[in-house]
Amino acid sequence: MPRLQALLRFLLAHGRHVRQLVVFKVSLDGLPEAQQQEAAALLPACMTACGGPASSLSSLILADVALPSLDWLPGLAALRELQMGCGERSLRLPPGLQHLSCLTRLSLSGSTVELESGAPLPTGLLRLNLIDEHSESLPSQARQGSVSQLSHLTRLSLAHSNYSPEGQGALTALASLRHLHVFLCPTPACLPALTSLEHLFLVTGTADLTLQLEAALAQLRGLTSLVIRADSQRIPPALGGLSRLQRLSWSGWDDDEPADTRLPDGPWLASIRWLGLPWPILERSAPVLADAPQLGYLCASTMPEPSIVMVDGTDGGTRWRRFWRFLVAHPPLRCFGLDAEPDGVEDEEDGPAERPSADLLQALLLLRGMRPALRLRCLVHDFEIEVIDCSDIPDDDLPAF
């Protein structure tokens, strides 16, 4: 309580000069009733002190903060970025949000995220992040001023939310949407209709999305970057028609995939620059990738099975040698990465993280000697993020010793 009182005194004196304010982990739970009432008054007063016509506050981050009222929010007219998270509590936004005309980035998180009647979202939003654990549809989907009215929105992220596939229909009205991130949420039923998308990040636990992805990729011809992590590692043939695709990461939650899974031929090979796949699919696809004239960055998201890699006279041994010859000989290749858990990390279901075999280490040493200009990297689930966020291969790898 003394800290909240001190914060209020500071903001009353200097609030109009504050440009960024970060408040996190403020809970009223467990406080005596009198202190709860005092805190319930202090928190909104702190926010109000930053508002008004002379307000300079452009960035406000409230992480896991219990705010009994948000009526002060429309008064922060200079806000450009707002992040609000209330943990396991519901987040209900007040009327007047349309007055935040400068707001371009908004992140909302709660057990439910709701808009009060007459509380349209600011139409100038460019980026919107939502974590909404219990709602079945996007906020106020059926009312004017809802997500469907955000005509300038270019980036949308839905994470750990429970929106039903049909409850995401508002996405079809977002004509400017170019980036869509769906992380551990049901896949939108309207995905094939989002033909303006250029970047799609889809991580879901839904079993076997092959048919849904086949239908979607047949329509999303403008994709330039694509990240898929789903239960099924089967790659739809429609991927081959993505003639603008430059970056692809495709992996699954488990290591089981059909024995003949490989990359398709098609126009996509002419444009692909970055590619990340499970090791077995990479091995089988080496002949296909030989026709990828711009492929500069290749990453294996799993390590090879020690029992099959160097066995002469077997299909596994043939694929193994063919793949390493491809790494040595493919002219545009600049970097080869292995995505693996750090030593000692243990998965609840799969046990300890897999370690590189002696055959793999020997092959990497030979590759280094035969092609010294090829950069080798070790990643920990970073390739998916790099596909979306990095303009070039990162050069800030941590030293091994």
The one-letter amino acid code at 287 reads P
Q: Tell me what the mean pLDDT of segment 134-140 comes to.
A: 78
CA 170 to chain centre: 20
Q: Is the pLDDT of residue 269 over 60?
A: yes
Distance in angstroms (rounded) separating the CA atoms of residues 54 and 252: 52
CB 152 within 8 A of CB 131: no
In DSSP notation, 96-165 reads TGGG-TT--EEEEEESSEEE-TT-PPPTT-SEEEEEESS-SSSTTTTSTTSGGG-TT--EEEEES----S
Indicate the pLDDT class of residue 110, thresholds 50, 70 and 90: confident
Helix (H, G, I), strand (E, B) or coil at 284: helix
Indicate the pLDDT class of residue 1, thresholds 50, 70 and 90: low
From the CB of residue 160, how many other CB atoms can be counted at a distance below 10 Å? 12
Overall pTM surpassing 0.85 (yes/no)? yes
Write down the pLDDT at residue 302. 86
Indicate the pLDDT class of residue 259, thresholds 50, 70 and 90: low
Helix (H, G, I), strand (E, B) or coil at 83: strand
Q: Where are the domains of the chain?
A: 1-79
Q: Residue written as tokens 């040698």?
A: 321
CB 297 within 8 A of CB 334: yes
Q: What is the mean pLDDT of the chain?
A: 84
> pLDDT tens digits for 23-81?
876 666 666 777 767 777 777 788 888 887 778 889 999 887 767 778 888 888 889 99
Q: Is the pLDDT of residue 239 over 80?
A: yes
Q: Is the pLDDT of residue 348 over 60?
A: no
Indicate the pLDDT class of residue 309, thresholds 50, 70 and 90: low
Residue predicted with more confidence, 97 or 155? 155
Q: Tell me what the mean pLDDT of segment 133-158 comes to.
A: 78
From the CB of residue 342, how many other CB atoms can be counted at a distance below 10 Å? 8
Secondary structure of 218-278 in HEC code, one letter for each residue = CCCCCCCEEEEEECCCCCCHHHHHCCCCCEEEEEECCCCCCCCCCCCCCHHHHCCCEEEEC
Write down the pLDDT at residue 51. 80
Distance in angstroms (rounded) separating the CA atoms of residues 346 and 194: 38
Angle at 164 between CA 163 and CA 167, to 5 degrees: 80
Among 26-30, 84-88, 127-131, which is the least confidently predicted range? 26-30
Torsion of CA 320, 326, 327, 329, to 10 degrees: 140
